[in-house]
Amino acid sequence: MKNISNMLGRGNLTVREKFLLLIHNDVQKAKTGKEVLTEADKAALENWTAKTNEEAREWNQLNAGWKLGGRMDLEAEFAYKDAQVAYLSQKPVMLEMLFYPLNQRTGLYLKNLEQIKKVTMEEAAEIARRQKEVKLKEGLDFDYAVYQLAFELLDDKNRERMTELYPDIETDHQYLDQEEIIAHLYGGQKELDEKAKEKIAELVAEQSYNKFAEEYQLFHYFACIPILEVAKYFLKNHGIEISGTPLSKNQVVREGDEDLCDTVTNTMQKYADEQGTDIKSMLRDACRQWLNDGLLEEYTPLAVSNNSELLSHWFKTKTEARKILNQHIASGQLAVRNRTDEETRKEKLYSKGLSSSESHAAMTFFENVGLEKIPKDELEEKKVFETFNDKVITGESLYSFRGEYEFVEDFKKRADTYEPNLGIVYAADDPEHKGDHLDQELVICSCDDDGEPMVFSQFGLGVKVLSSFLNSQGLFKEYQKDGQIFLKFKIADVAAVFKDSRQKLIDGYATLLGFESVFKKLSSIYETDMADHVSGRIAVLREYIGEYNRAIDVAVGKEVEKPKHRFLRKTVTPFEEDLVIDIEAIQPDPKVISENEAKMREVFPGIYS
């Protein structure tokens, strides 16, 4: 836009400049509410009379083009309003979509409530009695009892220091077990030898894979070493940089850690697939390399850290705890048995074993940290982690034990407490545990001959009413086709109206894009942004389409962000017909462009093309 003051300051204005002064004054008034021309200026311009036919023709041409632009703007406004109506008509359905995952999960929970085990008082008491019986029969792993008692024997200061290292250390033995393994690998020396480094690299790689879930879980640690950071080290060395805050040294999970772990895991798997290898091998090689490149300087094991005396004290305390328990066993206050083959859990306490050839190194380390040499019988019993202790303190002896130990009281409390869905009680005719476990969540109520709640049962009546209400709600249902589950509208007419409104929203957006294209060409003629108004409407429709797409994504379980609540599902159940609007694929309506450009060419045959 030319400077209006400069234009007015000139005595001799062209026809075009006079017309543009009026146009720009109107534009300024529309935008700010204030005019730049005085009433006298406006009167002089509006009352101007052409002196020649050429001046009259030029003025009329500009005026005709401006009026045509006004009519086009009105048409664009109609298209915008139609698109708004289409969007607003979809809002109730979009709201249903936003609530669908919760409604779907609620339906599953209600179905689970319908299937909950209904029992009499006598049946409930028998199941609880049998669960307690199994708990007492299982007893308590001897080595874990040593671990628990050792923590009890620690003074408050050292217990607090331990918790600072790892908040769950009191109940999760794995951290200290693995630190103990690394301590043995040091063998009393300040540096690890090559064999020890190979062993640590192997242990770190093994720790990354959960064989029960059959997946890599890089969020784990081996002692002080975060496996995710080892994976990032591997990727960085292979030209793949992944930004993100390093995992905490005390294993506390922070916001963003889960997303970072997913990214790194997916990247590692992609690399493994492309190179024909596996993540475990990649981690082992990376850890081995990093051990020579300062890994344990950044993540320092307890044995060679400023807290080495704490580890030494832990060893002493654990030895004391072991002696105390052995004394109770020797006196008959506690009883032990060997674990059976069926219940052997080789990784119950110690994560991995060391070869027996490292026995001397282990003895040397204990001496160097000031701990008394392990008695030969205890050393033979543990075999320096080559095998694991299969001794179990019997539950009966723990339950009748009169000593005041926290771990014993915890065991008694757990034995006396019924734990729903613990899954250790089965029917007498199910010795291989192939059927459902009996120790489920239980509802004690009067039942009919079919095992269903009686008609006046508050539980049964409540579930039926809620199920009936939920089934009457909602616009969607799931169905299966060719082995895949899809979503669809329950009512065909609702689906038809929704799809029709969807198309109107798309058409309205395309129409406005077409008008925007035409107005942009007009802008050069009138030296002002003729597309400004329609561009604002396009921005609004773009927001509408974004909200529409988000509702679709929520309904099918395909949110960009992960659900913040556990009860929201994470599986994707799409509509068979893709309802998402690809806004970037929408092109300006060619009919709108061609028709209106033809009109503009009639007005500006020598200018507009």
pLDDT score of 295 more than 90:
yes
For 512-567, the three-class secondary structure string (H helix, E strand, C coil) is HHHHHHHHHHHHHHHCCCCCHHHHHHHHHHHHHHHHHHHHHHHHHCCCCCCCCCCC
Least confident of 133-137, 249-253, 496-500: 249-253
Least confident of 40-49, 499-508, 537-546: 40-49
Q: What is the mean pLDDT of residues 9-20?
A: 72
Least confident of 24-38, 514-528, 554-568: 554-568
Q: What is the pLDDT of residue 21?
A: 80
Output 498 or 354, whichever has higher pLDDT.
498
Q: Say how many C-beta atoms besides its own lie within 10 A of residue 353's C-beta.
A: 16
**Which residues lie closer than 8 Å to 162 by C-beta, 6 or more apart?**
151, 154, 169, 170, 310, 314
Q: What is the pLDDT of residue 62?
A: 81
Residue environment code for 439-477, b if the CB has 16+ CB neighbours within 10 A, otherwise e: bbebbebebeeeeebeeebeebeebeebeeebeeeebbe
Q: What is the mean pLDDT of residues 166-185?
A: 92
**Which residues lie closer than 8 Å to 415 by C-beta, 6 or more apart?**
132, 135, 136, 395, 399
pLDDT tier for residue 10 given thresholds of 50, 70 and 90: low
Q: Measuring CA to CA, how many Å separate 587 from each of 204, 213, 509, 592? A: 54, 47, 9, 11
Nearest to 317 by CA among 493, 162, 474, 116: 162
pLDDT, tens only, 457-472:
777 778 778 877 777 7
pTM of the model: 0.62
Q: What is the mean pLDDT of residues 28-39?
A: 78
**Ramachandran area for residue 423 (φ above 0: left; ψ -120 to 50: alpha; else beta):** left
pLDDT tier for residue 609 given thresholds of 50, 70 and 90: low
For 104-138, the three-class secondary structure string (H helix, E strand, C coil) is HHHHHHHHHHHCCEEECHHHHHHHHHHHHHHHHHH
Output 58 or 438, whichever has higher pLDDT.
438
Q: What is the mean pLDDT of residues 317-326?
A: 96
Give me 378's structure tokens: 């205890």
pLDDT tier for residue 47 given thresholds of 50, 70 and 90: confident
pLDDT tier for residue 345 given thresholds of 50, 70 and 90: very low
Average pLDDT of the chain is 84
Q: What is the pLDDT of residue 373?
A: 40
Cβ contact 14:21 at 8 Å: no
pLDDT score of 569 more than 50:
no
pLDDT, tens only, 586-595:
999 999 999 9
pLDDT score of 606 more than 90:
no
| Dihedral sign computed on CA atoms, order 302, 304, 305, 311 | positive
Q: With H, G, I as helix, E, B as strand and everything else as coil, classify residue 225.
A: strand
pLDDT tier for residue 357 given thresholds of 50, 70 and 90: very low
pLDDT, tens only, 142-164:
999 999 999 999 999 999 999 99
| Gap between the Cα atoms of 248 and 245, Å rounded | 9
